[in-house]
């Protein structure tokens, strides 16, 4: 970080080379307050446009993002180190979510009539979801386009303005996303980015003008953000990572399962909140699975197939987990020597005790622990024995059994015979439970996350002899209503 006479700045670095990618201002609480104040005024304009006009502008934004996808990919590649192919996939998924949010907001959130029920037969009842105002988004560095766009797109589609604080490791990506929005929607600063370190995020979370915070990051940081939000009773949606498991059943396609486990664990250098970190394999196919997995893993190269570890401090966690796993289990591929900063070669260890840090804590690196189990029930029990609850994977040849296992997996999302496929379906909500956080982005649930329900009841006509909300009511009127309720609800169902 450097000091100037006017403002502090910080550099974003290429994690592979250490070269400076860009220099950005550290925006303090005063700058954040000014940004939120501008966004409050923009939110009034944006919310007043109506569904059709917002949809048109958001689809324009989608077109601009798509047109400049190479520029976005280049920025992500330089700031995270991930291969351009992976950055491209991330941008494509973000575009599909932006499109879905824009096209479905009115259907999900728009005013609609609801049944008033028999007792309210003289009423008309409507429900709609109104904008909150300004939504603050605090984004991560591992997927600096896809992950925050899951909040930004849905918040904008719901009629809110957005102030986005990207990770200090990927500020240029956040700045670019806001610049492209301004190109599509030049009238008002409906979506703007503020840059800085932890203090900037804290200022955003604690600003009284922010009506909701969408946070992605560690569980520990989420607790600090919640504390800042508590000062103003600001609600929050939090996605805090996981320790996701993949289960290989006895009748699974072993080759496909091994391929999925490898990609789910090693892609993006393992820096994926819904990545595969644990694998439980039924004994009948264990040896065949391990042959497939290790054979494929030996062909994967750090620095070629996936990039460096983006956050230098994470190397210490990865190293500690590898040391623990190798000491308590059996190294199948790689080991402590696999950590060669800023890269980590693939590491696969089997028979690691379930109570070890390598199995219990989020590693966020290109490592896998493999455990042999008697059957899928034992696999599910072990998969669920975690404080996290984000996502998971089931490989099985029996569709009904796979669906049942998926439903019973303690997670917000589960993929069957595929890996992380739920993230590519915009209509599916994304989020977890336990130490993985709460609330949902994506889908109809994600749109509602950034809106407030508004209920309206209107009396169409008076019901003679049944006016209960008046001091003029009589016992006879009350008796008639009791008879009606008894008729409707007093019989026990067989």
Active-site residue set:
239, 273
Contact 109, 128 (CB under 8 A): yes
User: What do you get for the CA distance between the two ends of the chain, in Å?
Assistant: 72
| Residues 6 or more apart whose Cβ sits within 8 Å of residue 26 | 1, 7, 8, 9, 10, 195, 196, 197, 199, 200
CA gap 423, 402 in Å, rounded: 19
Dihedral of CA atoms 423, 428, 433, 436 in degrees, nearest 10, equals 20
Tell the residue number behind the tokens 């993002």, with chain if given: 65
Q: Which residues are bridge partners to 126 per DSSP?
A: 113, 456
Residue 444, by phi and psi: left (phi above 0), alpha (psi -120 to 50) or beta?
Answer: alpha
């Amino acid at each position: 970080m450097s000091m100037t006479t006017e403002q502090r700045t910080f550099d974003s670095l290429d994690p592979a080379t250490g070269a400076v990618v860009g220099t950005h201002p550290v925006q303090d609480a005063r700058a954040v307050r000014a940004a939120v104040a501008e966004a409050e005024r923009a939110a009034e304009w944006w919310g007043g446009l109506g569904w059709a006009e917002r949809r048109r502008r958001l689809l324009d934004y989608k077109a601009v993002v798509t047109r400049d996808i190479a520029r976005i990919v280049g920025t992500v590649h330089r700031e995270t180190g991930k291969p351009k192919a992976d950055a491209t996939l991330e941008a494509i998924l973000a575009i599909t979510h932006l499109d879905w949010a824009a096209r479905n907001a009115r259907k999900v959130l728009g005013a609609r009539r609801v049944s008033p029920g028999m007792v309210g037969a003289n009423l008309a009842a409507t429900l709609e979801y109104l904008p909150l105002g300004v939504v603050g988004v605090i984004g991560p560095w591992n997927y600096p386009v896809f992950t925050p766009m899951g909040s930004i797109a849905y918040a904008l589609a719901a009629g809110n303005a957005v102030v986005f604080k990207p990770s200090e490791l990927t500020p240029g990506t956040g700045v670019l996303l806001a610049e492209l929005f301004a190109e599509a929607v030049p009238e008002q600063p409906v979506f703007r980015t503020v840059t800085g370190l932890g203090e900037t995020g804290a200022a955003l979370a604690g600003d009284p003008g922010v009506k909701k915070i969408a946070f992605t990051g560690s569980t520990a940081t989420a607790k600090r953000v919640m504390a800042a939000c508590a000062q103003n009773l600001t609600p929050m949606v939090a996605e805090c990572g996981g320790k996701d498991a993949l289960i290989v059943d006895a009748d699974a396609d072993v080759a496909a399962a091994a391929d999925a486990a490898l990609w789910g664990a090693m892609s993006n250098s393992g820096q994926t909140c819904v990545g595969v970190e644990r694998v439980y394999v039924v004994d009948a196919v264990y040896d065949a699975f391990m042959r497939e997995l290790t054979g494929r893993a030996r062909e994967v190269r750090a620095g070629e197939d996936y990039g460096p570890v983006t956050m230098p401090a994470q190397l210490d966690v990865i190293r500690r987990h590898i040391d623990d796993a190798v000491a308590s289990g059996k190294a199948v591929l790689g080991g402590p020597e696999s950590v060669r900063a800023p890269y980590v070669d693939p590491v696969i260890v089997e028979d690691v005790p379930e109570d070890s840090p390598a199995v219990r804590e989020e590693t966020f690196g290109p490592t896998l622990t493999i455990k042999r189990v008697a059957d899928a029930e034992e696999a599910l029990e072990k998969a669920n024995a975690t404080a996290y609850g984000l996502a998971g994977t089931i490989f099985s040849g029996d569709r009904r059994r796979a669906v049942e296992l998926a439903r019973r997996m303690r997670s917000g999302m589960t993929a069957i015979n595929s890996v992380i496929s739920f993230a590519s379906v915009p209509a599916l909500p994304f989020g977890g439970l336990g130490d993985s956080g709460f609330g949902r982005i994506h889908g109809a649930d994600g749109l509602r996350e950034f809106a407030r329900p508004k209920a309206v009841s209107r009396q169409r006509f008076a019901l003679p002899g049944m006016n209960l909300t008046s001091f003029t009511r009589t016992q006879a009127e009350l008796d008639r209503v009791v008879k009606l309720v008894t008729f409707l609800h007093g019989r026990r169902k067989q």
